[in-house]
Homo-oligomer: A and B are copies of this chain.
């Protein structure tokens, strides 16, 4: 039997076990998360994204140390959406992090894709909820800026850091245009490299193009994460963004919207399951057959099934 109250009590081994259940999306995870739900809603979830090689991991390492010194407990979730083949390497890197190993106020975990596209979104959100229930003040979700993950991070995190570096060429800059939209704080890392000023100018130009109506305009912070330069300013910007979310009512609004969406999703699943039980698998499959044969379109078939019962 799995006892979720151990997690609220701060038992690290119980937390680790729950994270594994979440990764397997099993029934224990669903039950434990429902039980733990009243203990969630306190943590500040910070997403960190950027292309491979931009210095994300180093920045996360430095940021975590600054947050620790400021008295916050920190959970780090390193999400590797790239491939089931490459998954697993990240955690090893994590454990080698300077200054964090052996600190009981820090919990580091990696989550790798198990091959199913999109499945990682739910895992990430549920793991963040587990850390939240376990009492971690700051949850840093680090993910490579590619694929589905960067979109997911925007829906899970309260504050999104997008890390850029001057080394990637113009072609790759173009990839990143899309992720500027999800940035709450922009980090121009490797500020000591040649071309850093050009990259900074390009970032400033992108931010200038954002609608002037935005209540929060992402600040751009230059860093040299390898020597810790600028990371205190990043931590400050993260706090300022949280303060903005709270004072503007945005945090409450997003939280409510998120929970409304979760209720709707659960209801949709329940209602569909019940309808299929009621009409029977046979009738449902017969409707699919008719759609496949182009005798009826999906919307009309849905209306028929919903009305017949």
Contact = CB atoms under 8 A, between A and B. Distances in A.
Interface of A: 30, 33-35, 37-41, 51-53, 81-83, 85-86, 113, 115, 117-118, 144-148, 150-151, 154, 167-172, 174-182, 209-210, 255-256, 259-260, 262-264, 266-272, 274-275, 284, 287-288, 291-292, 294-303, 305-306
A270 B181 contact: no
A82 to B, nearest CB: 4
Contact of A51 (B148, B175, B209, B284): B175
Nearest to A268: B268
B288 A174 contact: no
A296 B209 CA distance: 43
B52 A175 contact: yes
Given A267-B305, A268-B272, A269-B268, A37 B172 contact: no
Number of copies: 2
Contacts of A271: 268, 271-272, 275, 306
Nearest to A179: B147
A33 B259 CA distance: 32
Main SS of the interface on chain A?
helix
B154 A117 contact: yes
Given A263-B288, A267-B272, 12 more contacts: A34-B300, A53-B169, A53-B170, A113-B178, A144-B174, A147-B147, A256-B288, A263-B287, A264-B272, A267-B305, A267-B306, A271-B272
Nearest to A288: B260
